[in-house]
Amino acid sequence: MYSPAVLGQVFINGISLSAIYILVSLGFTLLFGIMRVVNFAHGAMAMLGGYALYYIYGQFQVPYLIAAPLAALTVATGSLVFERLVYRWFYQKMFQSMIGLLGLDMAIVFTAVIIWDPHERSVPAPISAVYKVGPLFLSGNKLVIIAVAAATLAAFYLFTHFTRYGLAMRAAAQDVEIAEVQGVNTDRIYTLSFFIAIFMAALAGGFFAQTYVLSPFMGERPLMMAFIAVILGGMGSIPGVALGGLILGLSESFLGTYFGGTTSVFVTFGAVILLLVFRPWGLLGTPET
């Protein structure tokens, strides 16, 4: 049961899950770290990304490597309307944002039910083949998800470390007031950060829809996993969120395979409770002074 072939399969499945969780969690913590917004509508944005991919790739037959980023770009661009009309009122208002954006999430989800009905759909896999590499059987669909997610995360890292706007985003995440004194246009940084956060959530939503199923309610699980990953890694810590998403994806794959989904959920939430008791600032977060 614990053969190298099975363990390798579990590892690949875990990495593909981790890629989804890291993407959606990064968007979540980006909004919190810079704007102090707890985006409970993040799952709804991921759901819209799934529907965008369903139409652009599944219905209009646009090549997948173009369709996946295009779907996320479409959702991120459209979401700027929400940024202007809703989100902007909750910047630097953490507790108010929880209630307001939970309401926005419900509004988006039930609007999706009216438009698309609650029935589940499926996003076709870009590669349905399974490749045999030694004792391993690798799903082409999961390999594509891992590759596109890795490229996106690498681009995000390069942007935040080697571009003017990326460095300004990091400065604003450290201290908004000091960043403003240094000449950072925080209004522009807020909009850019929001756009990037929703882009990553929508991209992750597309991956989630093609891995599982697409429905108006599919955003609940990515949102929950993003929240857990952020707690594990530390609110506002980008390296911590990456670590939290990796741990979450690998543990879910391993525990779900060998002990069942119930055990996986029990252990995950148990670990979060223990962490909140003994290290409430997360694995790589910093305690508030």
Domain ranges of the chain: 8-220
The yes-or-no verdict on residue 2 having pLDDT over 70 is: no
How far are the Cα atoms of 84, 85, 120, 125 from residue 79, in angstroms, in the given order? 9, 10, 24, 26
Neighbours of 177 (CB within 10 A): 9
The yes-or-no verdict on residue 128 having pLDDT over 70 is: yes
Torsion of CA 30, 34, 38, 39, to 10 degrees: -50
The yes-or-no verdict on residue 289 having pLDDT over 60 is: no
Neighbours of 83 (CB within 10 A): 18
Report which of residues 147 and 272 the model is more confident about.
147
Mean pLDDT of 107-124: 94
pLDDT band at 1 (very low <50, low <70, confident <90, very high): low
Nearest to 47 by CA among 200, 197, 202, 198: 202
**Predicted pLDDT at 215:** 95
**Predicted pLDDT at 148:** 92
Report which of residues 284 and 200 the model is more confident about.
200
Nearest to 10 by CA among 261, 254, 270, 193: 254
Ranges 89-93, 133-137, 210-214: which has the least confidence: 133-137
**Predicted pLDDT at 235:** 74
Query: pLDDT tens-digit profile of 12-37?
Result: 889 999 999 999 999 998 898 888 89
